Amino acid sequence: MGFLDISNATKSYGSVEVLHRVDISVEEGEFLVLVGPSGCGKSTLLNMIAGLEDITTGEISIKGQAMNGVHPSKRNIAMVFQSYALYPNMTVGQNITFGLEMHGVPKADRDSAMNDVAEMLQIKQLLDRKPGQLSGGQRQRVAMGRALVRDPDVFLFDEPLSNLDAKLRVDMRTEIKKLHQNLGTTIVYVTHDQIEAMTLSTRIAVMNGGYVQQLGTPKEIYDTPANLFVASFMGSPSMNLLPATIRVEGNAIHAEIARDGGPVRLAMADPSPKLKTYDGQEIVLGIRPEAITDLDGADRQSTHIEQIDVKIDVTEPAGSDTFITTTLGGKDCIGRMRADADVQPGQSVTLAINMEKAIPFDKGTEDRIV
């Protein structure tokens, strides 16, 4: 029994089920991020927690109280919307205290709560302005202030940073994280940006097609993705997914990958019994770009470094790193070299592949082979 429990919740519009049996339990003080592409049902789930959408079957409870059918204002939640949804006709101060006013809080208490929040978010000088006179970042702060002032049990964020420019987005991300660390509040946060999900959350629910694909800590999601969707959705540049054939020789398991000038064989770091049953079959081998490096850049802690020679197709110097593209298994394969690695397109280089980070997936079911 957690702080916020979503048990077996589904959502249907008519006969179309858009959210299938979601089961998530959030502890107090957790920062849960719902991440996925558009139309995956993440915003619908958030609206169901907020009470803006009905729950078709199942139950959502906060602090052990079932919330099905409870009006949004009675759930002790606060929500920050993508468009900020500031009331255009009210000043910033009135925007922040509107919720308190509607809940019948006396004026003096409202004002002191407003001042505390304005102090915390550094928006004191904006209190008399109208939302139309504020910049995007300021509006964002006001929207957060409006949520904070209510001192709710659960904060709900619906893609709050997607209307900001790139630099401001990174700043506000840090600020939201600080806020969470200082206040220790319970937050459910919806985004389609996997970097926001990784950096902010204590746990991530990756969603697709109305299903929760995987629920886990950012590290679990990143290092041991449950299936091909999670593997390719999380991480930038995304994980290389290479067709490979399993070859079992005694205790050793090799993945054989096609390459110009003869196939390469990579020894799998973890020779699990399950993987052995795939002898001779084709699988998908997932390797993150940072596990494919130049020799000097290879992880010294790793005991399973494989070296292969490849021809470089494209180089992309990104300042902090240089990304290279080569062809493995008939697909583009991206590797991450050190920034000053001397590589040219068309050149042949030796790459170090950290096989401890390589993940085998079943080609049919798309699930990770464990």
Partner 1 sequence: MAVASTDTAIRTGRVTRTVLYVVLLVFALFYLLPLFIMVANSLKPLSEITGGNMLALPQTWTIEPWLAAWSTAQVGVEPTGLKPYFWNSIRMVVPAVVISTVLGALNGYVLTKWRFRGDTILFGLMLFSCFIPFQIVLIPMARILGLAGLAGSTTGLVLVHVVYGIGFSTLYFRNYYAAFPTELVRAAMIDGAGFFQIFWRILLPSSGPIIVVCVIWQFTNIWNDFLFGASFASGDGAPMTVALNNLVQSSTGVKEYNVHFAGAILAALPTLLVYIVAGRYFVRGLMAGSVKG
Task: Compute, in degrees rounded to 10, the torsion defined by CA atoms 117, 122, 125, 130.
Answer: -70
- The verdict on 211 binding partner 1 (CB under 8 A) reads no
Question: Binding partner 1 by CB under 8 A: which of 57, 59, 66, 103?
Answer: 103
What are the residues whose beta carbons fall under 8 Å from the beta carbon of 209, sequence distance 6 or more? 40, 41
- The verdict on 83 binding partner 1 (CB under 8 A) reads yes
Closest CB to partner 1 among residues 78, 285: 78
Q: What is the distance in angstroms between the CA of the first residue and the CA of the last residue of the chain?
A: 29
For residue 324, what are its two tokens?
């290279």
- Amino acid sitting at position 64: G
- The verdict on 88 binding partner 1 (CB under 8 A) reads yes
- The verdict on 206 binding partner 1 (CB under 8 A) reads no
Question: Binding partner 1 by CB under 8 A: which of 22, 79, 231, 253?
Answer: 79
What is residue 212's three-state secondary structure? strand
Phi-psi region of 29 (alpha: psi -120 to 50; beta: other; left: phi over 0): left
Distance CA(340)–CA(259), nearest Å, equals 26
Question: Binding partner 1 by CB under 8 A: which of 26, 45, 48, 50?
Answer: 50
Closest CB to partner 1 among residues 84, 361: 84
Please report how close the Cβ of residue 100 comes to partner 1 at its closest, in angstroms.
9
Closest CB to partner 1 among residues 99, 237: 99
For residue 69, what are its two tokens?
């059918």
- The verdict on 113 binding partner 1 (CB under 8 A) reads no
Largest CA distance in the chain: 79
- The verdict on 102 binding partner 1 (CB under 8 A) reads yes
Task: Estimate the crossing angle of helix 92-102 against helix 136-148, to 10 degrees.
Answer: 20
Question: Binding partner 1 by CB under 8 A: which of 87, 184, 318, 350?
Answer: 87
Q: Which segments within the chain are labelled E, that is strand? A: 4-13, 16-26, 31-35, 57-62, 65-66, 77-80, 154-158, 186-191, 203-208, 211-216, 240-249, 252-257, 264-267, 282-287, 292-294, 305-317, 321-328, 331-338, 348-354, 359-362
Question: Binding partner 1 by CB under 8 A: which of 52, 183, 195, 267?
Answer: 52
Please report how close the Cβ of residue 52 comes to partner 1 at its closest, in angstroms.
5
- The verdict on 55 binding partner 1 (CB under 8 A) reads no
Distance CA(27)–CA(354), nearest Å, equals 35
Please report how close the Cβ of residue 152 comes to partner 1 at its closest, in angstroms.
9
Closest CB to partner 1 among residues 19, 50: 50
- The verdict on 81 binding partner 1 (CB under 8 A) reads yes
- The verdict on 49 binding partner 1 (CB under 8 A) reads no
What are the residues whose beta carbons fall under 8 Å from the beta carbon of 135, sequence distance 6 or more? none
Interacting stretch for partner 1, rule CB under 8 A, among 1-9, 85-93, 217-225, 297-305? Answer: 85-93
Interacting stretch for partner 1, rule CB under 8 A, among 81-89, 115-123, 197-205, 350-358? Answer: 81-89
- The verdict on 135 binding partner 1 (CB under 8 A) reads no
Interacting residue ranges for partner 1, rule: CB under 8 A: 50-52, 71-73, 77-79, 81-83, 85, 87-89, 98-99, 102-103, 146
